A and B are shown apart, each in its own frame.
Chain A
Amino acid sequence: MIYDVIIIGGGVTGCSIARTLSKYDLNICVIEKEAEIASGTTKANSGVVHAGYAAQREYIKRYLCIKGNKLYTQAVKELNFPFERIGSFVVALEDNQIKELEEERKKGTEDGIPGLELILDKKKIKDMEPNLTDDVVGVLHAPSAGLVSPYELTFALAENAATNGVKFLRNHEVVKIKHQEYTFTVRTYQGEFQASNLINAAGLHAARISKMLGLDYFSIMPRKGEYVLFDRNAIHLNKILFPMPTRVSKGILVCPTLHGNTFAGPNAQNITDREDISTTTAGLKDILDGGRNLVPNLPLRSSIRNFAGLRAVPDTYDFIIDNTDIYGFINVAGILSPGLTATFAIAEKVIEFLELLGVELNVRDDYNPIRPKPERFKDFNKEDLDKKIQEDPRWGRIICRCETIPEMEIINAIHAPVGANTVDGIKFRCRPGMGRCQGGFCRPRVIEILSRELKKPYEEITKRGEDTNILIGRTKDIALKEISRGVSKE
């Protein structure tokens, strides 16, 4: 079979394109190298939906960001992912920075960003965000900025795309691509797949994929960002807080999460290893120091986790969304910040290119834009909860104590379209292991459920795919092997 479109990369960009395309009568396949989707740059994105004033006017990312921000309103209604417009502050700590903020406000408003407001009344600022430092002299308030869960958004996109017929192949790393007679042949370790159009949304690996077709006109540098996450009982913010931007990044922000936690980060380090998501002592210190400039009472003792993510930074510093010289091959590369905000606008841009390529875009009769909201224990009132447990007792067996996650939510996460097949996959879909104990209590039970539902032995259950097995074997295995070795020697 020859697909109409193959998309390489199951991050938010690839899934967003897949979902937007799934509206049309096309055969589509998404190829992802990891065991789960949303495993690359998507996973450790800070989840901020930007208002759009930050990027300079010569960059396409500015306009796609402003447009993308607006598209969230409709997308949330259809896809039911966690999203809240809580607004952001850019915080000026010195008088001379106010002019800069006013400039941003003016340009942003001209470009269509709603509600931008420069606030200089310190009392008003502190009322809106009491945790902010007393040194604040003014803020640029962007009410359209918001928070999204980047991976939950990606799962929602993938689920809806799969419901509308998109095929997802995970654990498929692309090793070679051939282009002959208007057909692309994509080879992975598992097999060969053909398509008449190929979209490269491979994130950090996009330049490598492009080179497989001989197109070597950009490079992607991994830039690492580290984060520190704080317990939700320790501090609670109302607003996303940015420092004044620097040349390399938007700086260390202090930001609430949709689940009530707070994080500080990311810093920005250019690195060479595309898989390097290690955290460093120096980096973590920078983050805490930076964070405390904005929020002096950042509770160091209540940090529950630190982690790092990579941004795919192109040498152009702008999104590369191109109908390339190879007919039918579209690069969607270098989707750095604000790529998450722009994601729906990026997908629309890709559709325009496909249209230019002459792909027939007929809306499917059975297209269903709705991805129902996953049922959550926490969302039920007492009556519904009781009814739910009477219907299926698995709603009443709590697996994760910290986040109150019942067995049923985990089973639903496994059996959803493009469902979870690893411990991390479950953690990112329904949160067991995200809480205070970080999986201390629930991990053995999650393994038990995965093992049962996927019909795999315990030893084959992994944290996040190949070579990340949680357990190595039964007790006595090592001892017995040693004994039998001893016996055979005799």
Chain B
Amino acid sequence: MNKYSVDVTVIGGGSAGLAAAIIVKKANLNVLILERDKELGGITLQCIHNGFGLHEFKEELTGPEYVQRFINQAVELDIAYKLDTMVIEITSDKVIYAVNNKEGLIEIKTKAIILAMGCREKTRGAINIPGFRPAGIYTAGQAQRFVNIEGYLPGRSYVILGSGDIGMIIARRLTWEGCQVKAVVEIQPYVSGLIRNEVQCLEDYGIPLITSYTVTKIHGKDRVQGVTISKVDRNFDRVIGSEKFIECDTLLLSVGLIPENELTREAGAEISEMGGPVVDNNLETTIEGVFACGNVLQVHDLVDLVTAEAKRAGLNAVDYIKNRYDKKIERKEIIKCIAGENVNYVKPDLINRSDLSKDVIFTFRVKRPDRRLLIQFKDDKNRIIYKRKRSYVIPSEMLEIKLNLNEFNIDSNIKSIEIEVIPRPEVLIEED
């Protein structure tokens, strides 16, 4: 069995893992990336559309172009990586076991771990569509892989359930292939992906977006022959009599993404309700020296934001090794971050009281779209710490607020901070 000892092991060689590893290597620590696929780059490789890099490089790139810049940098820096390598176990004292077809079982002793495994697509079972189990049902990402990577078409005529970004992007891609996308059907009364994708991928190609509808039956025994869609009311119960049949040979699902945290869970880290690990303001999980970034922590809307978060995780891992590793520093008291009114989740989940002098980057998403709002941070005694105006919010957009809490004279004994997004009172507030 091959045994390795490294400072930092990064699990996942996609956009998050690469950016984190580069930061660690630049700090002169040795780092090893473990990637389960046959090449570095992750899911960004199959995103051949443009729109990447506007934050990070101030230019517009395709997914492969974007991630290639990081791969090149990793190669230049001579960062070690192993491909086709699957981590099978992380022990509580940070020993990683992985397998690949070249070395067999590998044991890696490491001082810090950065989790960057990304996310997976939700599937049909989770949304319980009745009907047969014919061929011709795929997730949007799977179809994207077949078309963009493998070079095969999964069908001729499509209905896409869910207006997630991947679904809308693959709708345009399939149209270019000469396929017919009959409709994108969305159960919510609003599009669930980014507005720019609605415009550029659906409207520009005349693909109908049908909101407040869902697929209520799949027709066809061997191959999909069509779907029945039905209108839903506010409680998502279907409206009897609203059924419409749409003929198609393929149904794609773009109903959301979930962080891929099986390893994290098995390693013993606490997982938050939304699926990502519980992290503090250093992006450190509840296991000391284990950090998380990218879509394994929270599903991001833009890969540029993944990169930014991964860099922070990298820096924090470096800081951990240089200043805390082997020093048995007790974890300081913590402040909990709570998702309040119209907030779906908030990261970090915890803030170390000792870090209050540092900037804390809060990222969160709202539950439902709204206009003319106030984003408000409150302490556990309902005292308002910070507030900011916002003209609109939508669930597809990840919100980010950077605060140095010490600047706000907070009570040093607070136990929690709650973030809420509430309608703006009539009196205008002089901040923003």
Give chain A nearest CB distance to B215 CB in angstroms: 11
CB-defined interface of A450-479 with B at 8 Å, one 1/0 digit per residue?
Answer: 000000001100111011111111111111
A281 in contact with B125 given A396-B100, A444-B150 (CB within 8 Å):
no
Interface residues of B in 66-125 (CB under 8 A from A): 84, 86, 88, 97, 99-105, 120-121, 123-125
**A472 and B153 contacting across the interface, CB-CB below 8 Å:** yes
Is B223 on the interface with A (CB-CB < 8 A)? yes
**B153 and A303 contacting across the interface, CB-CB below 8 Å:** no
Is A437 on the interface with B (CB-CB < 8 A)? yes
| A281–B215 alpha-carbon span in the complex (Å) | 11
Q: Which of B19-27, B49-57, B139-147, B335-343 binds A?
A: B139-147
| A272–B377 alpha-carbon span in the complex (Å) | 60
**A305 and B124 contacting across the interface, CB-CB below 8 Å:** yes
**B36 and A440 contacting across the interface, CB-CB below 8 Å:** no
Most buried by A among B124, B125, B131, B156: B125
Is B17 on the interface with A (CB-CB < 8 A)? no
**A382 and B177 contacting across the interface, CB-CB below 8 Å:** no
| A287–B238 alpha-carbon span in the complex (Å) | 19
- Return chain B residues, CB-CB under 8 Å to A397: 84, 100-101
Is A368 on the interface with B (CB-CB < 8 A)? no
- Return chain B residues, CB-CB under 8 Å to A440: 120-121, 123, 139, 141-142
- Return chain A residues, CB-CB under 8 Å to B427: none
Q: Which of A401, A402, A462, A481 contacts B135 (CB 8 A)?
A: A462
Which residue of chain B is the closest to A467 with respect to CB atoms?
Answer: B222
Give chain A nearest CB distance to B3 CB in angstroms: 11
Which residue of chain A is the closest to B147 with respect to CB atoms?
Answer: A475
Q: Which of B100, B103, B154 contacts A472 (CB 8 A)?
A: B154
Is B391 on the interface with A (CB-CB < 8 A)? no
Is A441 on the interface with B (CB-CB < 8 A)? yes
**B131 and A398 contacting across the interface, CB-CB below 8 Å:** no
- Return chain B residues, CB-CB under 8 Å to A477: 153
| A305–B177 alpha-carbon span in the complex (Å) | 31
- Return chain A residues, CB-CB under 8 Å to B152: 458-459, 471-475
Interface residues of B in 147-204 (CB under 8 A from A): 147, 149-156, 176-179
Is B64 on the interface with A (CB-CB < 8 A)? no
Is B221 on the interface with A (CB-CB < 8 A)? yes
Interface residues of A in 403-423 (CB under 8 A from B): 404, 406-407
| A443–B101 alpha-carbon span in the complex (Å) | 20
**A468 and B177 contacting across the interface, CB-CB below 8 Å:** no
Q: Which of A45-53, A110-118, A152-160, A387-395 binds B?
A: A387-395
Is A280 on the interface with B (CB-CB < 8 A)? yes
Give chain B nearest CB distance to A257 CB in angstroms: 14
Is A306 on the interface with B (CB-CB < 8 A)? yes
- Return chain A residues, CB-CB under 8 Å to B265: 233
**A475 and B131 contacting across the interface, CB-CB below 8 Å:** no
| Chain A interface residue bracket vs B | 35 or more
- Return chain A residues, CB-CB under 8 Å to B86: 398, 401, 404
Is B1 on the interface with A (CB-CB < 8 A)? yes
**B1 and A382 contacting across the interface, CB-CB below 8 Å:** yes
- Return chain B residues, CB-CB under 8 Å to A475: 147, 151-153, 177
**A306 and B125 contacting across the interface, CB-CB below 8 Å:** yes
Q: Which of A278, A438, A464 contacts B131 (CB 8 A)?
A: A278
**B36 and A280 contacting across the interface, CB-CB below 8 Å:** no
A390 in contact with B104 given A303-B126, A437-B120, A471-B146 (CB within 8 Å):
yes
Give chain A nearest CB distance to B145 CB in angstroms: 6
Chain A interface helix/strand/loop/mixed: mixed
Is A284 on the interface with B (CB-CB < 8 A)? yes
**B147 and A468 contacting across the interface, CB-CB below 8 Å:** no
A466 in contact with B101 given A283-B130, A440-B123, A471-B153 (CB within 8 Å):
no
- Return chain A residues, CB-CB under 8 Å to B105: 382, 385-386, 389
**B130 and A278 contacting across the interface, CB-CB below 8 Å:** yes
**B88 and A404 contacting across the interface, CB-CB below 8 Å:** yes
CB-defined interface of B29-72 with A at 8 Å, one 1/0 digit per residue?
Answer: 00000001000000000000000000000000000000000000
Most buried by B among A439, A471, A478, A482: A471
- Return chain B residues, CB-CB under 8 Å to A307: 133
Interface residues of B in 209-252 (CB under 8 A from A): 216-218, 221-223, 238, 249
- Return chain B residues, CB-CB under 8 Å to A382: 1, 97, 105
Give chain A nearest CB distance to B130 CB in angstroms: 4
Which residue of chain B is the closest to A466 with respect to CB atoms?
Answer: B222
- Return chain A residues, CB-CB under 8 Å to B147: 475
Is B132 on the interface with A (CB-CB < 8 A)? yes
Q: Which of A284, A385, A470 contacts B130 (CB 8 A)?
A: A284
Give chain A nearest CB distance to B161 CB in angstroms: 15
**A402 and B262 contacting across the interface, CB-CB below 8 Å:** yes
**B135 and A468 contacting across the interface, CB-CB below 8 Å:** yes
Give chain A nearest CB distance to B271 CB in angstroms: 9
- Return chain A residues, CB-CB under 8 Å to B151: 474-475
Q: Which of B126, B130, B222 contacts A304 (CB 8 A)?
A: B126
A482 in contact with B216 given A278-B131, A469-B223, A473-B153 (CB within 8 Å):
no
**A228 and B128 contacting across the interface, CB-CB below 8 Å:** yes
| A228–B126 alpha-carbon span in the complex (Å) | 10
| A303–B130 alpha-carbon span in the complex (Å) | 13
22 contacts between A and B (CB under 8 A): A228-B128, A303-B126, A382-B97, A382-B105, A386-B105, A389-B101, A390-B104, A396-B102, A397-B101, A398-B36, A398-B84, A438-B123, A440-B120, A440-B142, A443-B142, A464-B135, A466-B222, A471-B154, A472-B154, A472-B156, A478-B178, A479-B178
| Nearest 3 CB-CB pairings of A with B | A305-B125, A389-B104, A393-B101
Interface residues of chain A, those whose CB is within 8 Å of chain B, are 228-229, 233, 275, 277-281, 283-284, 301, 303-307, 382-383, 385-390, 393-398, 401-402, 404, 406-407, 436-441, 443-444, 458-459, 462-464, 466-479, 481-482
Interface residues of chain B, those whose CB is within 8 Å of chain A, are 1, 36, 84, 86, 88, 97, 99-105, 120-121, 123-126, 128, 130-135, 138-139, 141-142, 145-147, 149-156, 176-179, 216-218, 221-223, 238, 249, 262, 265
